[in-house]
Amino acid sequence: MSRWNPFPYEADAYRYDRDALRASWSRLHAGDAEAFPEDDDVLQAWSLYHAGEFEAAVDAGLRTASSAGLTVANKAQAMQANYLERSECQRFALFLDVVARAESQVEEDPGNANAHYLLAYALGRYAQGISISKALQLGLGARIKAALDTTIRLQPQHADAHTALGAFHAEVIDTMGALLGRTQGASKDEGVSMFRTGLRLNPMSAIARMEYANGLVMLEGETKLRDAEKLYAEAAECVPLDAAERLHVEVARAELAL
């Protein structure tokens, strides 16, 4: 693995020992509803993830040779690809690597909600990179929706899956229109409902607010710009508890500064 771009902000506040991680776990994982791991090696991988040491978290997670460790590795690599990798070619490679591992994880551990979610996440970000139109032509839309539906069926409290499913509905309708979007299972009302549920389940989330803001504009157009700006302003004021949340907040701040 080539050297990855490091987390660019001070990370001391995001370094958790076992007790601190246990105490903050429910808040840190309000988005993905991941259970607190009892395996110390998996817990160490999560500690590296939360501190923004994504490359080390991938290595540590894979070394556990467990499904729980694979979840950490896939999430860390997805965050690296989405926020810190500058090369489009390398970003695509990182996402497709996560897709391949998540597909294997789904086969071996089909009851693992985050295996399905991270498959959908990596496919979704890859789809955005190649264009939603091309992704739909390749049949990726159905795969993403199926993975998110399965995530929610397995874990109804999975806030991030609800938010991602809202984004799916919004992006398909934005690309194809409401009528043709139905052929992909997309619905404006369902999209808005998913965004609201994601934010209700994880009310401290900056990324849920940003995805909701983007989705509102895609679904409703300029009439929702003021609402979207308000959501971005709220996202920029969120207090991050780990490196990934800090990256989300910084994206919101950068958008408001434009």
Quote the CA–CA distance of 241 and 228 in Å, as a whole number.
24
For the chain, the structural domain boundaries read 12-256
Q: For residues 106 and 219, what is the distance between their CA atoms, to the nearest angstrom? A: 32
pLDDT at 81: 98
- DSSP-derived letter for residue 7 is P
Would you give the distance in Å from CA 185 to the centre of its chain? 21
How much is the pLDDT for 2? 59
- Overall pTM > 0.85: yes
DSSP character for 241?
Answer: S
Rounded distance between C-alpha atoms, residue 196 and residue 208, angstroms:
9
Pairwise CA distance, residues 104 & 31, whole Å? 23
Q: Which residues of 156-188 are buried (b: 16+ CB within 10 A; e: fewer)?
A: eebbbbbbbbbbbbbbbbbbbeeeebeebebbb
What is the rounded distance in angstroms from the CA atom of residue 187 to the CA atom of residue 166? 9
Residues contacting 198, CB < 8 A, separation 6+: 159, 160, 161, 162, 163, 164, 166, 205, 208, 211, 212
- The pLDDT score that the predictor gives to residue 1 is 46
- The answer to whether 166 touches 192, Cβ cutoff 8 Å, is yes
Architecture of domain 12-256: Alpha Horseshoe (1.25)
pLDDT score at 180:
75
Structure confidence at residue 61 (pLDDT): 98
The tens digit of pLDDT for each residue in 65-80 reads: 999 999 999 999 999 9
DSSP SS3 for 250: helix
Instruction: Answer for the pair 42, 61: CB distance below 8 angstroms, yes or no.
Output: yes
Low-confidence ranges of the chain (pLDDT < 50): 1
For residues 70 and 215, give the distance between their C-alpha atoms in angstroms, rounded to a whole number. 30
- Between the two ends of the chain, the Cα-to-Cα distance in Å is 35
**The token pair that represents 61 in the structure block:** 């997670």
Handedness of CA 61, 63, 64, 70 (dihedral sign): positive
| 3-state helix vs strand vs coil in the chain, percent to 5 | 75, 0, 25
For residue range 39-73, what is the model confidence (pLDDT) as tens digits? 999 999 999 999 999 999 999 999 999 999 999 99
